[in-house]
Amino acid sequence: MSRLKELFQHKKNILSIYYTAGYPGLNDTVKLAETLEQSGADLLEIGFPYSDPVADGPTIQASSKQSLDQGMDLKLLFEQLKALRSKVTIPVLLMGYVNPVLQFGVENFCKACVEVGVDGCIVPDLPMVEYEEFYQTTFKENGLSNIFLVTPQTSPERIRKIDALSNGFIYLLSSSATTGQHLQVSEDTQTYFSRIADMKLNNPIMIGFGINSKETFDKACQYANGAIIGSAFVKALDPANLTGSVQTFMQNFKP
């Protein structure tokens, strides 16, 4: 059984943390993963930076720029991640834009993920039709989950299609804004979350965008299997006290 499936079978209120590879320090990627697992994270999303991160808010944009300026790229990231599975047991996803993946080569990317123990990826700007036609076989042959995103504007037909293509979980965006916004659980948002829950999809649901506190995390978990925190975590990182800043942040989400 895959690490992702085992996680969703045995745990509720799953806490997933996103951070940018190579930030704040170029060589902090695996250290952060190890510290996050020790501090209670259930799932990790490691972002590979890109020069034009259109869906990201200012915090993640800034972390991506600093990471790129320090020399991070996919080749270096996979070199760093060779040490991942000697230190980390929880599921790990890579998240980023399609351009670096295409430049690296989709088949090479998938093989490299398997070699370092990555469980899947989230590539928001990879069109579903292209994934299905050109890349799905490669992902399946390598046992990788490709995570699709759903927004408030996604049609029920498309959601059903996403559910049929998915084998990990579905990433439910709380809004169509960029990352880093505060989750506002308005009547419209509640209706949206409830509509997705009522569809009784085959795959688990994780809610992201705007989760920045225990309160917003708990609200999201009322409608989903868990929630994803990104900008708030990246903002909390202190290069002068990396381990301490991770532990302090994560204490906010412990029962």
List the catalytic residues: 45, 56
Q: Using alpha carbons, select from 170, 228, 200, 192 the residue that is nearest to residue 13.
A: 228
* Helix residue ranges, H only, the chain: 3-10, 29-38, 58-69, 74-80, 98-104, 106-116, 128-130, 136-141, 156-165, 187-198, 214-221, 231-236, 242-251
How many CA atoms lie within 13 Å of 1's alpha carbon, on the beta-carbon side?
8
Residue 207 host element (H or E): strand 205-208
Beta bridge partners of 20: 47
Beta bridge partners of 208: 173
Q: Tokens representing 166?
A: 């998915």
Helix, strand or coil, per DSSP, at residue 203: coil
Helix, strand or coil, per DSSP, at residue 72: coil
Helix, strand or coil, per DSSP, at residue 63: helix
- Which residue shows structure tokens 């510290």? 35
**How would you classify residue 92: left for phi > 0, otherwise alpha for psi between -120 and 50, otherwise beta?**
beta
